[in-house]
Amino acid sequence: MVSNQKIIAILRGITTDDAVLHIGCLLEHGINRVEITTNSPGWETSLQQVRQRFGSDVQLGVGTVTTSDQVQRCFAAAVDFILTPNLNPKIIALAKKHELIVCAGVFTPGEIFTAVDMGVDVVKIFPACALPRNYPQRIKGPLSQPVSFSAVGGVEVGNAAEFLRYYDSVGLGSALYKPGQRVADTAARCKLLL
């Protein structure tokens, strides 16, 4: 069993026609942290529609943020958090200036320490499947402050609970949602997490 409060639903490729329907389904199953990626068609329109429909019931984030322009657009859309695929000091500094919660993609111990020094809120280990599941426990010892770890990349419905033994949250992408799938399929996948 997985605590749905520890899941970030990654909706890569979702269309504006599908965003409200699928996020409504996720909310019905207790998943309220949702990431719409910048490489999804009409992602800004989706953000507006989702926020208008669900308000603060959903913690809304934007993933695959790689440019300063995207950070500015996220801020303008009043999102709750952003996720980066890599550790980009310029992007992180701008997001922090706008008081956005930053989840930055890292892999190595050096990147983790740098991310902490830059004030990243959540360290996103990507791809998490390429490392031992207890990787955060091996790194936390030398860190001088508590750090929130999120596992993304290779996390599936069937192994999410195992990752959550060591991580504070997990990002579920294609294991939970694939572009064009029916809402009933999203619901079925959510039920497998219970």
Bond preceding residue 142 cis, omega within 30 of 0: no
**Per residue in 31-57, pLDDT tens?**
999 999 999 999 999 999 999 999 999
Residue 191 CA to its chain's centroid (Å): 20
- Out of 6, 28, 35, 97, pick the active-site residue: 35
Radius of gyration of the chain from Cα atoms? 16
Residue 28 catalytic? no
Amino acid identity at 2: V
Q: How far apart are CA 99 and CA 94, in angstroms?
A: 9
2 band by pLDDT with thresholds 50, 70 and 90: low
**pLDDT score of 1:** 45
When divided into structural domains, the chain yields a total of 1
CATH number at residue 173: 3.20.20.70
Encoded tokens for 82: 């952003």
Encoded tokens for 32: 């309220």
**pLDDT score of 156:** 93
**Per residue in 131-172, pLDDT tens?**
999 999 988 888 878 899 999 999 999 899 999 999 999 999
Give the SS3 label for residue 2. coil
Residue 124 catalytic? yes
Domain of 66 in residue numbering reads as 4-191
Q: For the chain, what percent of residues have pLDDT higher than 90? A: 89
Single pTM value for the model: 0.93
73 band by pLDDT with thresholds 50, 70 and 90: very high
- Out of 6, 99, 124, 156, pick the active-site residue: 124
Residue matched to tokens 């500094």: 93
137's CB contacts (< 8 A; 6+ apart) are 166
**Which of 188, 189, 148 is CA-nearest to residue 172?**
189
